[in-house]
Chain A
Amino acid sequence: MRLSRNWLLALPLAALLAGSPAQAAGTLTIAQAQDPNNWDPIATFLISWGSVAGNFFEGLVIRDESLKLQPGLATSWEVLEGGKRLRFHLRQGVTFHDGEPFNAEAVKFTIDRLLGPEGKKGPQQSNYTTIGSVEIVDAATVDIVMKQPDPVMLTKLAGYGAMMVPPKYVTEKGSAAFALAPVGTGPFKVVDYQPKVSVTLEPYAGYWGVKPKLDKVVYRFIVEPDTQLAELQAGRIDIASNLSVAATGIVSKSADLKLESITGPTVVVVRLNTAHGVTTDVRVRKAMIMAVDRDAIVKQILMGQAETVTSFQSSLSFGFDPKQAAVPFDPAGAKKLLAEAKVPAGTAVALDFPSNNTTFREVAQAMAGYMSAVGLKVAVRPSEQNVYTNDIVPNGKTGEMFQFGWGGWTFDYDNTAYLMYHTGEHWNPYDKDATLDGMLDAQRLIADPKQREAKLQDIAHYVADHALEIPMYNLNTIYGLNKRVKGFVPPPDNRIRLQTTTVE
């Protein structure tokens, strides 16, 4: 059966066949924009990976929909030696989808692989460098020995690079094969993966926890938000996970559909070029922030499907300061600052952004409109997305302003601030500030959460005082649902969990 179906799917028609038939009872079809291409936990940093792979991979700890840590493959854990040693008591009787047992060896294999040469090839290793080694105490107990205390490590063990992988399967098949046919311990197993088309999951009968009620889950990769909407309206998908803001009105008015909108992990800012052009002057940067009515943009263009931010983090983030005030919209003040900085009216500046972001395309034009009102002539420059993320931003080829969205799935400000502002970081082409570097390094060594939170808040204030960016908004994740889907809880971290979900 399996063989013949695979053979059938190899036909060119398969792309159509896979998506079009009416759904059998208990089959849930989800559309998402991006295919992560590689299911290996150590080889990805994409949100689109987490929204699928969270269903078939698990870590020692699990983070639930309210972002609280819960026991996962470890039933309990202890923080020993002042945070230098984390001891995990492993769940017994857990097996991987291929039947391999999960035990202390698997934990050691996973972490060693992450920190070893295989992990070095991927982007995940850098998140876990505070781990020194893994020591097996007995078959049911492992210690993670830290080089230094890392307050975020427990959260990091709940996702991405620290997802447990089966030692025998990975060793025998090799990483390249594992990346296309992943095996984990999660409630679902992968039965079929067609790159750029779909990935199909079925419940794993040997799962240790709450068994899923669905018979099958199909994720279809549909790039265009408008196509997702059309498929949702036609009933060919049950959940559209990347609707455009413009589609919200249509979905909420439809009798068969409903809208679920929740604070998302992605915060969007417009970063300012502190190395070249007029934006090297802090007064100009401040004027740019004051010139743009961000409340109006969120209310009108984003139809309230976002929340303005005061720093590069959402209100759910560790390091968020509720007392930090937004810079008010003040075109007159902006004009005054620009005059002080001797920036003549009509000065040309450029705003770069990736061309596939249709929402930001509107926001960018609105920003340009606001800035022209204070005398800055903005060229709005869309670039092809791959060129944008791989060349223009990291190599510092942007204009005075550039859009940047970052989703720290750990919801810890360190994960954003360090990568954005620390000298020499990949995503930081311009800022070089020894004071800021010092603050960023210092907070990583603080074990006490209260003190570290205060330090992170200081960093956010410092960044705002120096106007390194125009804080824009925290965009909601907008799900469009067919009403026959029951028990779907929209997750704030985009990691869709489907154990309680059913389809009528």
Chain B
Amino acid sequence: MARRFRSLEFILGAALTLLVVVLALLTPWLFPDGGEAMDLSARLIAPGLNWAHPLGTDPIGRDLLARVVVGARVSLTVGVVSVAGGMVMGTLAGLFAGFYRGIWDMVLMRWADVQLALPFILVAITFTAILGADEWKMIGFMAITQWVQYARLIRSSVLTLREREFVQAAEAIGVRNIAILFRHILPNAIGPVVVLMTLNIANNILLESSLTFLGAGIDPMIPSWGGMLSDGRSYLQTAWWVGVFPGLAIMLTVLGLNLLGDWLRDFLDPNAKATS
């Protein structure tokens, strides 16, 4: 067991993820101004020139270090909450579809097919153009579009699990369906879902960044990595640091979560490594 925790994947993944989470939790104390303090006379200071701004400043003179760190809060909130929402919806739908089959299964799965057929970014841009965008709308939208992935995953596990002896035994002694679903089937089906969640948190952080970069996301005043990338785009030739640091932050966070997800998959299902 201990050997599993000594893998490079786990150490690096856990360290990066932990670093981001801890920084995000500490921001109210580290940067009480929320990275919003601006000073037009100190715009575009290069990194390392001024100790008050170790990573330099952005085009309206805000401290980049503060904004990158505070940006972790937005990115993690969007990533974690949207994934949790999608997971809960998808898991319930998958459980019911797989266990009861019949008309429920048909309706839910065909609905899922329809949702999978729509290109996400296009739908997202249309959605934000009509309803406007803020953090919570974006989270809700991601959850609503992503439940499908969890539902399919859970459903396929449930289909095999419900034929297994221990489930049939439970049925035979008269355990109620709800109890069978949540006590016997769910714990056995949840492994792949946890892996998918770690990967999706990373995906949704990227998605938030892309949408904000495209101008269909979060208020530019709230530091978010996508918004900062967007701010930095016109300055890539003159002031690289405006775009590069938020870009690095995205990269490291997503890398950390992906490594952790990979490791988790091996951990939960050691056979996968050998066969895949």
Chain A residues proximal to chain B, CB less than 8 Å: 225-226, 229, 244, 246-247, 249-250, 293, 296-297, 300-301, 355-356, 358, 361-362, 364-366, 368-369, 372, 378-384, 387
Contact = CB atoms under 8 A, between A and B. Distances in A.
Interface string B203-219: 00000000000111001
A236 to B, nearest CB: 17
Interface in B219-234: 219-221, 230-231, 233-234
Contact of B60 (A301, A383, A384): A301
B36 A384 contact: no
A380 B132 CA distance: 12
Nearest to B41: A300
Interface stretch (B171-179, B235-243, B245-253, B268-276): B235-243
Chain A binding site: helix, strand, loop or mixed by DSSP? helix
B52 interface: no
Contact of B216 (A355, A361, A379): A355
Contacts of B238: 246, 249-250
Nearest to A244: B234
A257 B236 CA distance: 19
Contact of A226 (B129, B132, B236): B236
A369 B60 contact: yes
A372 B33 CA distance: 12
Interface of B: 36-38, 40-41, 43, 59-61, 125, 129, 132, 214-216, 219-221, 230-231, 233-238
A369 B36 contact: yes
Given A300-B43, A384-B129, A387-B129, A365 B221 contact: yes
Contact of A301 (B43, B125, B132, B219): B43
14 contacts: A226-B236, A246-B234, A249-B238, A296-B41, A300-B43, A301-B43, A301-B59, A355-B214, A355-B215, A356-B215, A365-B221, A382-B215, A383-B132, A384-B125
A362 B57 CA distance: 13
A372 B61 CA distance: 15
Given A365-B220, A366-B38, A369-B60, 19 more contacts: A226-B236, A229-B237, A244-B234, A246-B234, A247-B237, A297-B40, A300-B40, A300-B41, A300-B43, A301-B43, A301-B59, A355-B216, A361-B230, A366-B60, A369-B38, A372-B36, A378-B221, A382-B215, A384-B215
The interface centre, meaning the residue of A301, A355, A379 with most chain B CB atoms within 10 A of its CB, is A355
A383 B129 contact: yes
Contacts of A244: 234
Contacts of A246: 59, 234-235, 238
Given A300-B43, A365-B60, A382-B215, A226 B220 contact: no
Contacts of B231: 361-362
B46 to A, nearest CB: 14
Main secondary structure of the interface of B (DSSP, over half): loop
Given A362-B60, A364-B220, A301 B40 contact: yes
Contacts of B41: 296, 300
B140 to A, nearest CB: 18
Of B36, B61, B221, most buried by chain A (CB within 10 Å of CB) is B221
Contact of A379 (B125, B221, B235, B237): B221
Contacts of B129: 383-384, 387
A481 B210 CA distance: 33
B60 A380 contact: no
Contact of B221 (A225, A250, A356, A380): A380
A247 B237 CA distance: 8
Contacts of A293: 40
Contact of A362 (B36, B59, B125): B59
A364 to B, nearest CB: 7
Given A300-B41, A362-B59, A381-B132, A226 B215 contact: no
A368 B222 CA distance: 11
Contacts of B40: 293, 296-297, 300-301, 366
Most chain-A CB neighbours within 10 Å: which of B38, B43, B60?
Answer: B60
A383 B43 CA distance: 26
The 10 A-B residue pairs with the shortest CB-CB distance, nearest first, are: A355-B215, A369-B38, A246-B234, A300-B40, A384-B129, A366-B60, A382-B215, A244-B234, A380-B221, A296-B40
Contacts of A358: 233-234
A382 B38 contact: no
Contacts of A250: 237-238
Contacts of A378: 221
Nearest to A385: B215
A297 B36 CA distance: 17
A380 B219 contact: yes
B216 A384 contact: yes
Contacts of A225: 234
Given A369-B38, A372-B36, A247 B43 contact: no
